[in-house]
Amino acid sequence: MKAIAGLIALALLWSTVPASAENAPPPNCEVPAHFLASEATLKKVAETVKTEGRLDIMVIGSRSATVLAPDGTGFPGRMEAALRDKLPTVKVNVNLQLQIKKTAADVSGDLARILEGKQPTLVIWQTGTVDAMRAVDPDDFRTAVDEGVTALQKRGADVALMNLQYGPRMETMITTAPYLDVMRVVAQQHEVPLFDRFAIMHHWNETGQFDLFNNSRGIELAKRVHDCLGRALATFVIEAARIKPAELRTQQ
């Protein structure tokens, strides 16, 4: 198991190295609209943005959310910057809660502590990678995600799920399909949006926007992918909340 985990860590190297000081060319962040559309709505986000002019987001993430985070270039920081740019009249704050090497069950059972003293408008829960690496029974994974979403909703927060990251090397080492399916089902049952990070990154790799197989350019690649994921997430949140930025500006 340790050997397999080590190989997977190498496969994900491009997303775990520190930020480079080099200036990479602007990334092509093209994402087909259907990847960012959601039938589920973020009603509390919409209401709070409209009535209070603020948006407090908590990202509960594993190691792939922590990458580059200290200097704001990880995807949570890039999402915050993009939301502030798109919603200039709204006070946006993104708080990252790291849950490194924890399964969905670990996080679900610790949500009371994680949210203690905090009242986020929206919680984005990134999960699935650790469970897939450890080959957690998909039924147990489903129970954990279901209970976690239920607990978050009872605390009054809007919830959005984010699934596994995609990597062509990783696909040869672990089985991802059952965990992706579980997250789709739970999102539908609870009527919460699902940010399909896996499909978006697969699309980027297949269309040549990013070569996720080649980790020789890991530092530069990681920074660019996180930038694009952050921007996509910002659009996803705005779309799911049915926010019209132009209308917000005219109300001020």
- The answer to whether 55 and 121 have CB atoms below 8 angstroms apart is yes
Residue 53: left if φ>0, alpha if ψ -120 to 50, beta else—which one?
A: left
Instruction: Give residue-wise pLDDT tens across range 182-230.
Output: 999 999 999 999 999 999 988 998 888 776 666 555 667 777 888 899 9
Residue 74: left if φ>0, alpha if ψ -120 to 50, beta else—which one?
A: beta
- The answer to whether 64 and 132 have CB atoms below 8 angstroms apart is no
Give the HSE-up count for residue 242: Cα atoms under 13 Å, Cβ half-sphere: 8
* Cα separation, 47 vs 246, whole angstroms: 16
Instruction: Give residue-wise pLDDT tens across range 47-81.
Output: 999 999 999 999 998 765 555 445 566 899 999 99
Instruction: Give residue-wise pLDDT tens across range 123-160.
Output: 999 999 999 999 999 999 999 999 999 999 999 999 99
Instruction: Give residue-wise pLDDT tens across range 75-100.
Output: 999 999 999 999 999 999 999 998 98
Q: Is 26 exposed, middle or buried (0-12, 13-18, 19+ CB in 10 A)?
A: exposed
**Tokens linked to 246:** 């132009």
User: Which runs of consecutive H residues, i.e. helices, occur in the chain?
Assistant: 2-11, 33-36, 43-52, 63-66, 75-86, 104-109, 111-114, 129-133, 138-154, 168-171, 177-190, 197-206, 218-240, 245-251
- The gap from C-alpha 37 to its chain's centroid, in whole angstroms, comes to 15
> pTM here?
0.86
- What is the residue whose two structure tokens read 């399916």? 181
Domain 2-17+34-251 has CATH 3.30.70.120: no
